[in-house]
Amino acid sequence: MSRAAAAPEVARLRQAGDEPRIVAIPGDGVGPEVVAATRRVLDAAMARQHLSLNWREITVGGCAIDAYGVAIRDEDLAIADTADALLLGAVGGPKWSDPAAAVRPEQALLTLRTRYELFANLRPVSILPELIAHSPLKSERLHGVDMLMVRELTGGLYFGTPSGESADDSGRHAIDTLPYHEDEIRRVAHVAFESARARRRLVTSVDKANVLATSRLWRTVVSEVGQEYPDVRLEHRLVDSTAMLLVTQPSLFDVILTENLFGDILSDEAAVLAGSLGLLPSASLGSRRTAHGLFGLYEPIHGSAPDIAGTNSANPIGTILSGAMLARESLGLPEVAAAIEQAVAAVIRGGARTADLLPAGDSPAAGSASGLTLVGTREAADLIVAQLLGA
Ligand code: IPM
Ligand code: MG
């Protein structure tokens, strides 16, 4: 913490008096609670380095539909444009999920992904030793699980045209289209190989090349990119058997590289390994750079959890760890990121647990025999902040 020992980016920021700009997007359901918790943790981690952040907040998702009739307004996009990074809680909920609705909260997310060409979605999955018993999988299958899902995020079925529903004399039809251009595959493949270099140097590329033309192109292009990384092992697997291996032998994987829809499905499956969706962070990155680093959108992988919204019981850790990824990728501050990650691990080691991390019906009071303490969203953040500030 001494000023003399500051890392280069920390020193530069202090000298420039330059506050990175973060736009918070609390969104719907539990989003506002987990974002509020994360803002406090990020501010504390920055304060340790005598640094601060410039926060703004915008209304996006179902709450924006209620207030303005659209999932995200142009003036709010203009505010997001000025940010070094976006921190999002969650958007959506049953209130806005009528299939006939003309506007949907999720449109805002897709707008943000395409507007900033956030083509690489990074979802790390690892398991804290204290939480192994909480996973639905047998503990012996979980040792050594440490993977990074790299999901292509701006192509494929989510954005292909034509897409829509129509009707004729024979009945109703609907169509979605799955396109991929080699450039879209190549750029996300580079992200996967670069990430693997900092890890165990294995890339598993996942496709359905036995059926889909896009998957055969995917396989060819990923193999070509792989030639540029002779130090990284590349394997190709089909998506159906990968889904099985993820729960039978999850420690086989290091970096998993896959297209948009397969990545959507497999990343939720992989998230189950950690014991709770509430624990896992994500970063969506492209190639846009700001003065501080790579621009990104950071969010927990869980959704808006409307059933527990407003009850101070959501697990904030997935969002807090997304804040750590934000510090690392978008602010160039790995020491801030590591401090947050260590503080989270210390609080879990100390026995504090939000409700999702306790066996159903179990609500141990402080000092109970299990050594675990039930805490709320705010209290979990209090403990992490106290850990960071050495209180
Ligand atoms: C995710 C979510 C989104 C997606 C939805 C909310 C549009 O499931 O980030 O994984 O499908 O990409
Ligand atoms: Mg999803």
Distance 16 CA to ligand 1 centre (A): 38
310 and 347 fall within a common domain: yes
Active-site residue identified among 18, 240, 307, 362:
240
Q: Which of 264, 268, 322 most suits a substitution to test ligand 1, by most atoms within 8 Å of the C-beta?
A: 264
The last residue of one of the domains, among 214, 241, 273, is 273
Spatial distance between the Cα atoms of 178 and 391, rounded to a whole number of angstroms: 53
Exposed (0-12), middle (13-18) or buried (19+): which is 177, by Cβ within 10 Å? exposed
93: domain CATH number? 3.40.718.10
Q: Which atom of ligand 1 is nearest to the CA of 282?
A: 9
Q: What is the pLDDT along the chain (391 residues), one digit of tens a residue?
A: 444 467 878 887 887 778 999 999 999 999 999 999 999 999 999 999 999 999 999 999 999 999 999 999 999 999 999 999 999 999 999 999 998 899 999 999 999 999 999 999 999 999 998 999 888 899 999 999 999 999 999 999 999 999 999 999 999 999 999 999 999 999 999 999 999 999 999 999 999 999 999 999 999 999 999 999 999 999 999 999 999 999 999 999 999 999 999 999 999 999 889 988 999 999 999 999 999 999 999 999 999 999 999 999 999 999 999 999 999 999 999 999 999 999 999 999 999 999 999 876 555 554 455 789 999 999 999 999 999 999 6
Residue 366: its pLDDT value, please? 47
| Same domain, residue pair 112 and 145 | no
Point out the ligand 1 atom lying closest to the alpha carbon of residue 299: 9
Q: Residue 367's pLDDT is what?
A: 46
Active site residue 183: no
Is 167 part of any domain?
no
Residues with CB under 6 A from ligand 1: 106, 109, 264
Q: Are 220 and 284 part of one and the same domain?
A: no
Instruction: For residue 171, give both structure tokens.
Output: 């009945």
Let me know if 240 is a catalytic residue: yes
* Domain that includes residue 229, residue range: 136-161+174-273
Q: What is the pLDDT of residue 364?
A: 59
Q: Is the domain of 283 the same as that of 368?
A: yes
Token output for 375: 């805490």
Q: Is 169 a catalytic residue?
A: no
Contact of 325 with 122, CB cutoff 8 Å: yes
Active site residue 264: yes
H/E segment holding residue 82: none
CB of 62 closer than 8 Å to CB of 96: yes
Selecting among 158, 180, 229, 298, the annotated active-site residue is: 158
